[in-house]
Amino acid sequence: MGLIVYGGSVSPFVRKVRVVLNEKGVKYDLDQVNPFAPPPEFLKISPLKRIPVLRDTDLPQPNTLPDSSVICDYLEHKYPAPALYPSNPFERARALWYEEYADTSLAQSIGPGLFFERVIKKLLRQKPDESICASTLLDKVPPVFDYLEREIGDREFLVGKAFSIADIAVGTMLVNFEHAGETPDPKRWPKLAAYTKRVHERPSFKACIEEERPFVASIRAA
């Protein structure tokens, strides 16, 4: 009995949920689902054919929730401590904005043109197109990193004085940037580079990163 997370561990959205669970010290099972070839039953619980989906087996059916943002919000209400959403209404809304930005703009700048090319294509036994990676790094990534560099400024965390869903949402996308063999250039984005390191050193992130690294390395080396 308990929680089941359906999804592949290298998905940034799956990791977002896992980091929330780790921060809250909640045990769960991970059921690996490949969203590109999902089993037919999966489509019943994920109409958009996306990972992650959470199942709370303590509840009667239907007991599944798709979408990382929906899942994280549910987890915050079910397990309120430690809080990962600010209590101040404006700060909470700011945190949700950064989560939205990470899930859309940051994900789009890193996912298709870099992580997909260098990791997922290899997993699918296709040849990565390095010209796509080069143009992604030249055109797509810099405006997003420039924005984050400004927003982080001299703050330890993106919102208020505590680690929040904003840092988890941004941090998880930057893990995929690193899995694709890149790190934010500390000369161009010194605050973002230091922030990334700080966030990834938290035990909640470290546990995921260390579990994923050998798998990603084996895919990239294939």
Token readout for 104 is: 């859309």
- The answer to whether residue 13 forms part of the interface with ligand GSH (CB under 6 A) is yes
Single out the segment in contact with ligand GSH by CB under 6 A; choices: 7-15, 83-91, 145-153, 187-195: 7-15
User: CB of residue 36 vs ligand GSH: minimum separation in angstroms?
Assistant: 6
Residue list 49-68, contact with ligand GSH (CB under 6 A): 49-52, 67-68
Strand order in the sheet with 64-66: 28-31, 3-6, 53-56, 64-66
Q: Are 164 and 72 in contact (CB under 8 A)?
A: no
What is the contact mask toward ligand GSH in residues 154 to 183, using x (rule: CB under 6 A)?
Answer: ------------------------------
**Smallest distance, Å, CB 168 to ligand GSH?**
12
- x/- string (CB under 6 A) for ligand GSH, residues 88-127? ---------------x------------------------
Q: How many CA atoms lie within 13 A of 26 on its CB side?
A: 24
Q: CB 158 → ligand GSH: shortest distance, Å?
A: 18
Question: In this structure, are residues 171 and 199 in contact, taking their beta carbons and an 8 Å threshold?
Answer: yes
On whether the CB atoms of residues 103 and 170 are closer than 8 A, the answer is no
CB-CB contact of 76 with 92 (8 Å)? no
